Chain A
Amino acid sequence: MNDEQIIELYFNRDEQAINETSNNYGSYCCKIAYNILGNLQDAEECVSDALVKVWNSIPPQNPENLSAYLGKIVRNIALDKYRRNSAEKRADTGMALAIDEISEILPSKDSVEKAVDVKELVAVINAFLKELKPDARKIFVQKYWYFSSVKEIAQMFSLTESKVTVTLTRTRKKLYDHLKKEDIL
């Protein structure tokens, strides 16, 4: 069943919509949540919560891109859960590694730095991504949106790990320059 048909089921309030979404995107969502939380049970809970949220939001929402819409929801739910678990020992997750690396160019969480409007930052990041070559962009988005590991990205795109690592390092440097130029840093 394609996305249009699934969304039609949501609009008809047919609960089969949840099953079809889960069939098509369950593993995709679980991977996003797992990369953030590092725990399969927690990841599966996030996916269940996301499916409920989608059920409650369509309609009135009518997403053009169901996978991205769903992915954003599950990513946000998993990030919230990760923050709530902050007092507990955090797993060595894909996201934890991504934070370590990106913190090379960004101020730490506790530092007093410039304030920025998140919407403005999203626009600046979108402009940055648009300027990247597609290969570098895919790798960067896999790292910081999906929180995939270097090893996973290398296998996914049939590249060597060293190629992925070098591409990420160069792209982070470009991002730093872009954020400076846009007066974000």
Chain B
Amino acid sequence: MKKINTDCFLEAFGEIDNNFITEARSQPIIKHKKRKITALIAAAALATFMTVTVAAVKFDFKGFFVEAAPSGEKELNVTEEAGPESIEKTYEPTYVPDGYINYNSELTKSHNYKWYRNGDDYFTFGQFLKKNYHNVAFGNENDVLEVFTGADGQEYMIVTSPEGISVVWDNGEYVFLVAGDLDRETALDICRLVEEKK
């Protein structure tokens, strides 16, 4: 018998069911829902979304749509689900800003994460299957959305919020994310230099 206090709680919490430990291990919070949404509905969702974001942001990002969740949050989803059924090719940033180290990684059949840290600053690289990409971090009232087209024609959706920057893109096979405490140009440099790991 032990006195119930913080030490005792942390000791007991260390012995929780293995399934909870594995479940929490970096899986993106994804709602696996069938998205048979017509272009009309998607367009309506986008129009609603644009009314709450900073004006003059034109949302015409191919392959993605935003819809309102029952909670009131806005969710970014992928329109086209066609793509590999599992992570067959893995990608990674070939450029990382000075001072950042890759301190954690996770590769599963459905996602490939790499986390980088430079002191208290972080950024995350993610590669996801198109069929289950779903991101609730997008589209809150203080977010600013921008679509940027690179010299090679690749489109990136950039979301700048008080918590940092997120860049999402789709290479036709997978959805990618770079998010963290980065300035816009640095984030885009990382995105442009994401390459398949050989």
Contact = CB atoms under 8 A, between A and B. Distances in A.
Interface of A: 27-28, 30-31, 34, 64-65, 67-69, 71-72, 75-76, 79, 95, 98-99, 102-103, 106-118, 121-122, 125-126, 129, 134-135, 137-139, 141-142, 144-146, 151-152, 154-163, 179, 184-185
Given A138-B29, A145-B14, A154-B163, A112 B3 contact: yes
Contacts of B26: 156
B13 A69 contact: no
Contacts of B166: 158
A79 B14 contact: yes
B16 A141 contact: yes
Nearest to A137: B20
A60 B78 CA distance: 47
Interface string B1-20: 11111111111111111111
Given A118-B8, A159-B137, 9 more contacts: A65-B18, A107-B3, A111-B5, A141-B16, A141-B21, A145-B21, A152-B115, A155-B115, A184-B4
Dominant SS at the A interface? helix
B123 to A, nearest CB: 8
Contacts of B28: 156-158
A36 B19 CA distance: 21
Top 8 A-B pairs ranked by shortest CB distance?
A: A141-B24, A68-B18, A115-B1, A121-B12, A65-B18, A138-B24, A68-B21, A155-B124
* Among B7, B13, B102, B124: residue with most chain A CB under 10 A: B13
Contacts of A155: 115, 122-124, 179-180
18 contacts: A27-B103, A31-B103, A34-B103, A67-B25, A68-B18, A71-B21, A99-B6, A102-B10, A113-B4, A115-B3, A116-B1, A116-B2, A144-B10, A145-B14, A145-B21, A146-B24, A158-B177, A162-B163
